[in-house]
Structure 1
Amino acid sequence: MKKIVFLLVIALSLQLSAQDEQPDYSDKVATLDSTLKTLYGVISGEKGEERNWDVFKFLFHPKAKLIPTGKTQEGKHVARFLKPEDYISSSGKWLVENGFFEKEIHRSVNTFGNITQVFSTYESYHSEADEEPFMRGINSIQLLNDGERWWIINIYWQQESETSPIPSEYLPD
């Protein structure tokens, strides 16, 4: 019996020690601005530069979704529903192999109580040195402030196209 208690005490102390070693990312979700800045920053990087997926996952509520939209070859509008881990699996390698910088160029914010909806217009580049974006679009980001931090609930986005240009009210003045 003493041996079992001793092993439980050791296991508990190892678990607590491992928890103490977890990085503190609370400053990255302390404000709406820091949360969005971290979101864009964590997916951005030069070709060959690994992303910090632990920080990325920290931004999202456990039930959050990332929802890219697009068109099928037949022209039908569709949406894919991804968990943060699914996004990492489907896009993480591409981001590193190609280089990717997503920069917010305009933001429209609506808040009621503890919920916030952000229309965040972005431009995408392969390198920070690029002068022209290869893509633009709008991220519709829903967030919750639980009184302690900001959580991303969903990111729902669409790329700009010839048939769907970004409206002027979502572009910089």
Structure 2
Amino acid sequence: MKTKTTLLLFLITVSISAQEKIDYSSKVTTIDSTIATLYSVISGNKGEARNWDLFKHLFREDAKLIPIGKKDKKITVRYMSTEDYIKTSGQWLVENGFHEIEIKRETQTFGDFAHVFSTYESYKSKDDDTPFMRGINSIQLFNDGTRWWIINLYWKQESKEIPIPEAYLPKQ
């Protein structure tokens, strides 16, 4: 019995160690790979789990996710950590299905930092023809010499009152 317990604990430890050693380095070598990974990791069909370890890997430890919204009829912002985002949005993404697709991007870089203005459309299923939401992500990134980190992700959804300007939409 003691041998079986020891073997079981060993296998659990090896399994946990193997999970911790997943190499995500290829996901953050360029701005393009980092942004593509951001969109892909939050996207999935209804009932499909998200890879929150990969999501957290994209962001510096002190990064903020900042949505603009309305509260009590006033425009406001909310500051979240990656953990806050997972707690407030993770279950909704899985229960409803959510695919966010970049439709246009403007990137500005200066040495080791970058700003990406990324227009997106959101769908409940990748088979949907019409988005249920559109908006713009403002993504600030930092390169530490080995990889790109998301420092802040700041976004606003389009509304009837504030449509996305034509300059930030794909040319027809």
TM-score normalised over the length of structure 2: 0.88
AA aligned opposite 2:37: T
Which among 160, 163, 166 is matched to residue 162 of structure 1? 160
Query: How many equivalent pairs are there?
Result: 158
User: CA-to-partner distance for each residue in 1:79-103, whole Å, 9 max, x for gaps?
Assistant: 0000001000000000000000000
Of 146, 149, 153, the residue aligned with 1:148 is 146
Measured in 2, the distance between the counterparts of 1:70 and 1:145 equals 30
Give the 4+ runs in structure 1 shifted more than 6 A: none
Look up the equivalent residue of 2:47 and give its one-letter code. G
Q: d(CA) in 2 for partners of 1:160 and 1:142?
A: 20
In structure 2, do the counterparts of structure 1 residues 159 and 21 end up closer, same or farther at CA, with 3 Å as the change threshold? closer
- 1:19 positional shift: 7.5
Q: Which runs of 5+ in 1 are unaligned?
A: 1-13
Deviation of 1:77 after TM superposition, in Å, equals 1.1
Residue aligned with 1:23, SS: coil
How far apart are the structure 2 equivalents of 1:111 and 1:78?
A: 28
In structure 2, the residue matched to 1:137 is: 135
1:145 is displaced (CA, Å) by 0.9
Partner of 1:32: 31
Distance 1:61 1:22 in 2: 18
Per-residue deviation, residues 138-162 of structure 1 (Å, max 9, x unmatched) = 0000000111000000000000001
Higher mean Cα deviation, 77-86 or 18-27? 18-27
Q: Return the alpha-carbon distance in structure 2 between the equivalents of residues 163 and 73 of structure 1.
A: 17
1:5-61 CA distances to partner (integer Å, 9 max, x unpaired)?
A: xxxxxxxxx89x938951000000011100000000000000000000000000000
Q: Distance in 1 between matches of 2:135 and 2:77?
A: 15
CA distance in 2, matches of 1:56, 1:20: 15
The gaps in structure 2 that reach 5 residues or longer are 1-12
Question: Residues 101-120 of structure 1, C-alpha deviation per residue, up to 9 Å, x if partnerless?
Answer: 00000001111121100100
Give the Cα–Cα distance (whole angstroms) in 2 for the partners of residues 55 and 162 of structure 1: 34
1:117 partner letter: H
